[in-house]
Amino acid sequence: MISSMDKLMHQVTRKPRVVPAAGAGLVPVPGAVAPGAGPLHDQYRRPLRDLRISITDRCNFRCTYCMPREIFGPDHAFLPRSSLLTFDEITRFARIAVDQGVQKIRLTGGEPLLRKDIETLVAQLAALRTPEGKPIDLTLTTNGTLLGIKARALHEAGLKRVTVSLDALDNDIFTRMSDSKVQVKTILDSIDQAAKAGLAPVKVNMVVRKGVNEDQILPMARYFRGTGHVLRFIEFMDVGDTNGWNFSEVVTGAEIIERLSAEFPLEPVQAEYRGEVAKGWRYTDGQGEIGIITSVTQPFCGDCTRLRLSPEGQLFLCLFASQGYDVRELLRNGSSDQQVLDHLAAVWGQRNDRYSEQRGQLSGSRKKIEMSYIGG
Ligand code: SAM
Ligand code: SF4
Ligand code: SF4
Q: Would you say residue 67 lies in a domain?
A: yes
In total, how many domains does the chain have? Answer: 1
* DSSP 3-state of 129: strand
For ligand 2, atom 4, name the residue with the nearest CA. Answer: 63
* Nearest ligand to the C-alpha atom of residue 241: 1
* Per-residue pLDDT reduced to its tens digit, 160-204: 999 999 999 999 999 999 999 999 999 999 999 999 999 999 999
Q: Is 354 in the pocket of ligand 3 (CB under 6 A)?
A: yes
* Nearest ligand to the C-alpha atom of residue 319: 3
Tell me: pLDDT of 81 over 90.
Answer: yes
More confident residue, 96 or 245: 96
Compute CA distances 40 → 304, 319, 324, 346, whole Å. 13, 19, 18, 9
Write a three-state SS string for 293-352.
ECCCCCCCHHHCCEEEECCCCEEECCCCCCEEEECHHHHHCCCCHHHHHHHHHHHHHCCC
User: Pocket of ligand 2, candidates 146, 165, 213, 237: which has the most ligand atoms within 8 Å of its Cβ, to mutate?
Assistant: 165
Assign 21 a pLDDT band (cuts: 50, 70, 90): low
The ligand 2 atom at the shortest distance from the C-alpha of residue 207 is: 5
Tell me: pLDDT of 8 over 50.
Answer: no
* Residue 272: predicted pLDDT: 74
- CB-CB contact of 220 with 256 (8 Å): no
User: Pocket of ligand 2, candidates 66, 162, 310, 373: which has the most ligand atoms within 8 Å of its Cβ, to mutate?
Assistant: 66
Angle between helices 87-99 and 118-126 (to 10 degrees): 20
Q: Would you say residue 7 lies in a domain?
A: no
Q: Both ends of the chain: CA-CA distance in Å?
A: 25
CATH number at residue 346: 3.20.20.70
- CB-CB contact of 261 with 204 (8 Å): no
* Per-residue pLDDT reduced to its tens digit, 336-353: 999 999 999 999 999 999
Assign 13 a pLDDT band (cuts: 50, 70, 90): very low
Task: Report d(CA 255, CA 216) in Å as an integer.
Answer: 14
* Nearest ligand to the C-alpha atom of residue 362: 3
* Residue 375: predicted pLDDT: 84
- Provide mean pLDDT across the span 225-234: 97
**DSSP secondary structure code for residue 251 in this structure:** P
Q: Which residues pair with 138 in a beta bridge?
A: 105
Q: Is 318 in the pocket of ligand 3 (CB under 6 A)?
A: yes
* Per-residue pLDDT reduced to its tens digit, 127-151: 999 999 999 999 999 999 999 999 9
Tell me: pLDDT of 263 over 90.
Answer: yes
Tell me: pLDDT of 306 over 80.
Answer: yes
Compute CA distances 176 → 36, 69, 173, 183, 233, whole Å. 48, 12, 5, 11, 19
Backbone angles phi, psi at 265, to 5 degrees: -60, 140
Tell me: pLDDT of 18 over 70.
Answer: no
**Other C-beta atoms lying within 10 Å of the C-beta of residue 193:** 18
Is 218 buried (19+), middle (13-18) or exposed (0-12) by CB count in 10 A?
middle
* Residue 160: predicted pLDDT: 93
- Provide mean pLDDT across the span 1-16: 38
* DSSP 3-state of 316: strand
Q: Would you say residue 8 lies in a domain?
A: no
Q: Would you say residue 26 lies in a domain?
A: no
User: Pocket of ligand 1, candidates 150, 207, 247, 252: which has the most ligand atoms within 8 Å of its Cβ, to mutate?
Assistant: 207
Q: Which domain holds residue 262?
A: 48-75+84-374
Q: Would you say residue 145 lies in a domain?
A: yes
* Residue 27: predicted pLDDT: 67
Q: Would you say residue 27 lies in a domain?
A: no
* Residue 370: predicted pLDDT: 87
Task: Report d(CA 363, CA 371) in Å as an integer.
Answer: 19
Kindly give the distance from the C-alpha atom of residue 108 to the centroid of ligand 2, in angstroms, as a whole number. Answer: 10
Task: Report d(CA 260, CA 182) in Å as an integer.
Answer: 28
Kindly give the distance from the C-alpha atom of residue 34 to the centroid of ligand 2, in angstroms, as a whole number. Answer: 38
Q: Would you say residue 314 lies in a domain?
A: yes
Q: What does the mean pLDDT of the chain come to?
A: 90
Tell me: pLDDT of 19 over 90.
Answer: no
Tell me: pLDDT of 83 over 90.
Answer: yes
- Provide mean pLDDT across the span 287-292: 97
Kindly give the distance from the C-alpha atom of residue 367 to the centroid of ligand 3, in angstroms, as a whole number. Answer: 16
* Per-residue pLDDT reduced to its tens digit, 33-80: 888 777 999 999 999 999 999 999 999 999 999 999 999 999 999 999
* Per-residue pLDDT reduced to its tens digit, 350-374: 999 998 888 877 656 678 888 888 8
- Provide mean pLDDT across the span 109-123: 98
- CB-CB contact of 152 with 119 (8 Å): no
* Residue 29: predicted pLDDT: 72
Tell me: pLDDT of 105 over 90.
Answer: yes
* Residue 22: predicted pLDDT: 45
Q: Would you say residue 289 lies in a domain?
A: yes
User: Pocket of ligand 3, candidates 319, 351, 357, 368: which has the most ligand atoms within 8 Å of its Cβ, to mutate?
Assistant: 319
Kindly give the distance from the C-alpha atom of residue 215 to the centroid of ligand 3, in angstroms, as a whole number. Answer: 28
Q: Is 303 in the pocket of ligand 3 (CB under 6 A)?
A: no
More confident residue, 75 or 31: 75
* Residue 366: predicted pLDDT: 73
